[in-house]
Chain A
């Protein structure tokens, strides 16, 4: 069953056509990769899915319902979380406070309550423990190392119990040990909690080892899709990377 469907989406910035009738389908429960040379439109695709940019044409469906051009907070509340290439967390708040921002807010009166209610606290602490940041819970997020910030961003998304997570270069700028850890986290979350992943990455080894299917983007449109072993030998893909 297709969780997310991007149908013929186009988006231009001035003279640059970032996405050109781009179509992708992500099956529920999978870890899907998205690769392509620089400038192929991967981040723009993430931006239109999560509502940070409006599409010029095309539709985006989540569980069959249209979320095209929805605002970012709406998309988030529907269950799609997203990380950024340059990790974006809240540097002047503590690690624990960061976690509480993303916690779901169901009722109005909850807003004015103190944010350290037991249930939320426990959930946040569990997640922090999962990414090994529990001991840093009262440190300012800005003081964490780069790798720790990446993990925190990860944990932030998880607090809201999303159905799908868009990862923008999760292995970027991180040492090999941590890369393996990140891959392990993604696998665990996928298997234990059924979270669907769409992963943009340049690190081929990472993508090939992790993903069930891989889509290839080139100049704003999909040129190939399928299991990693098939895609990696596809001549069109090779051409895009070498020729581009």
Chain B
């Protein structure tokens, strides 16, 4: 019989192994340019989903507008480099926390307005933000560069090492994001969020300050999504309105979140791992003619219908069922050995 302590140790061991694996991946395991690009995009996507999950996953308010923070991050990064004359290289990465804070500051009014509405209205108003700011980015030409956008400083690194700084910075930020997500999940704050997801009015009636909780989660998630957007913009070299404030980004984030499992810590990671490489591969093979979209859509339709809770929660449920079945079998066996009357059975199954 595996005790909880042993299984927890195995879990920690596996986690460390995973971190080391990802750490040496680009240099040791697959030093390939194309693969590294996909890997960087995967990490960036993972940061965005983990951030999104902290709000949408835990509270159950599905935001289809987190792309707005992605854009805030990208534009803040680009404009800061432009106006403060920051050269390419390692220095711009220091701006990342600032982009997060700027987005967080924006998240306060945006969140306050959006969260007054009910869940389904919230979804729509979140979409509205993306379009409002996309249009603002377009129209405020003097500040944001209009349709041509902002160019990022050029990096001095050359292939095949050019991807590595992005990879590792993204990896570090991802680790921080995952840690925050995990910490929240096991804190009273996170418990309150999950209660809001299950039954918000009931949570309010049991003393949970729902408005403050929701807004806080919203701001924290904005922080991480913005950093993902900033790294992305720096990596591809520029940001312009349609790319920075792109509804397709939102839908991808949501897809990753739901595929992996909303509301868990590991779920978003699993989702990002599946979706991004797959998306990139599809674009490469079939891009531009629409066939990639058909395959993409069809596959996700099938997956959503088969695994509506996402991969991680479905696996968790199977694990739980398996454990319970094992317990029942063991209990049956012991009972038969001791020839105990069926009172144990009654205690377990027949109350109320």
Q: Answer yes or no: B141 CB below 8 A from chain A CBs.
A: no
Residues of B within 8 A of A88 (CB): 199, 202
Question: Does B188 lie within 8 Å of A100, measured CB to CB?
Answer: yes
Smallest Cβ-Cβ distance to A173: which chain B residue: B352
Per the bound structure, the CA–CA distance linking A82 and B184 in Å amounts to 28
Question: Does B352 lie within 8 Å of A147, measured CB to CB?
Answer: yes
- Those of B205-258 within 8 Å (CB) of chain A: 205-210
Q: Answer yes or no: A183 CB below 8 A from chain B CBs.
A: no
Partner of A92, one of B188, B198, B208, B352: B198
- Those of A69-120 within 8 Å (CB) of chain B: 71-73, 75-77, 82, 84, 88-93, 97, 100-105, 110-115
Residues of A within 8 A of B194 (CB): 90, 92-93, 97
Residues of A within 8 A of B209 (CB): 73
Instruction: Give the distance to chain B from A79, nearest Cβ to Cβ, in Å.
Output: 11
- Chain A CB count within 10 A is highest, among B187, B188, B197, B210, for B188
Known contacts A52-B201, A110-B188, A102 near B207 by CB under 8 Å: yes
Question: Does B192 lie within 8 Å of A101, measured CB to CB?
Answer: yes
Residues of A within 8 A of B197 (CB): 92
Question: Does A76 lie within 8 Å of B206, measured CB to CB?
Answer: yes
Q: Answer yes or no: B172 CB below 8 A from chain A CBs.
A: no
What is the number of residues of chain A that contact chain B, defined by CB distance less than 8 Å?
Answer: 45
Q: Answer yes or no: A150 CB below 8 A from chain B CBs.
A: yes
- Chain B CB count within 10 A is highest, among A84, A111, A145, A150, for A111
Instruction: Give the distance to chain A from B56, nearest Cβ to Cβ, in Å.
Output: 15
Partner of B191, one of A93, A135, A160, A178: A93
Question: Does A82 lie within 8 Å of B351, measured CB to CB?
Answer: no
Instruction: Give the distance to chain B from A160, nearest Cβ to Cβ, in Å.
Output: 7
Mostly, the B contact residues are helix
Known contacts A90-B194, A111-B188, A146 near B352 by CB under 8 Å: yes
Smallest Cβ-Cβ distance to B188: which chain A residue: A115
What is the number of residues of chain B that contact chain A, defined by CB distance less than 8 Å?
Answer: 26
A interface footprint on B171-204 (CB within 8 Å = 1, 0 otherwise): 0000000000001101111011011011101111
Smallest Cβ-Cβ distance to A110: which chain B residue: B188
Question: Does B188 lie within 8 Å of A90, measured CB to CB?
Answer: no
Residues of A within 8 A of B188 (CB): 100, 103, 105, 110-113, 115
Partner of A93, one of B198, B210, B347: B198
Smallest Cβ-Cβ distance to B324: which chain A residue: A139
Question: Does A101 lie within 8 Å of B351, measured CB to CB?
Answer: no
Question: Does B205 lie within 8 Å of A101, measured CB to CB?
Answer: no
Residues of B within 8 A of A51 (CB): 205
Residues of A within 8 A of B206 (CB): 73, 76, 101-102, 156, 160
Smallest Cβ-Cβ distance to A77: which chain B residue: B207
Residues of A within 8 A of B186 (CB): 114-115
Question: Does B207 lie within 8 Å of A115, measured CB to CB?
Answer: no
Per the bound structure, the CA–CA distance linking A104 and B184 in Å amounts to 18
Partner of B207, one of A91, A104, A112: A104
Partner of B199, one of A90, A97, A160: A90
Q: Answer yes or no: A175 CB below 8 A from chain B CBs.
A: yes
Per the bound structure, the CA–CA distance linking A170 and B55 in Å amounts to 35
Question: Does A90 lie within 8 Å of B198, measured CB to CB?
Answer: yes
Known contacts A101-B192, A160-B207, A148 near B187 by CB under 8 Å: no
Q: Answer yes or no: A10 CB below 8 A from chain B CBs.
A: no
Smallest Cβ-Cβ distance to B317: which chain A residue: A140
Question: Does B351 lie within 8 Å of A147, measured CB to CB?
Answer: yes
19 contacts between A and B (CB under 8 A): A50-B205, A51-B205, A71-B204, A73-B207, A76-B207, A90-B194, A90-B195, A92-B198, A93-B195, A101-B192, A101-B195, A101-B208, A103-B188, A111-B188, A115-B187, A144-B352, A151-B352, A160-B207, A175-B352
Interface, chain A (partner B; CB < 8 A): 50-52, 71-73, 75-77, 82, 84, 88-93, 97, 100-105, 110-115, 132, 135, 144-151, 156, 160, 174-175, 178
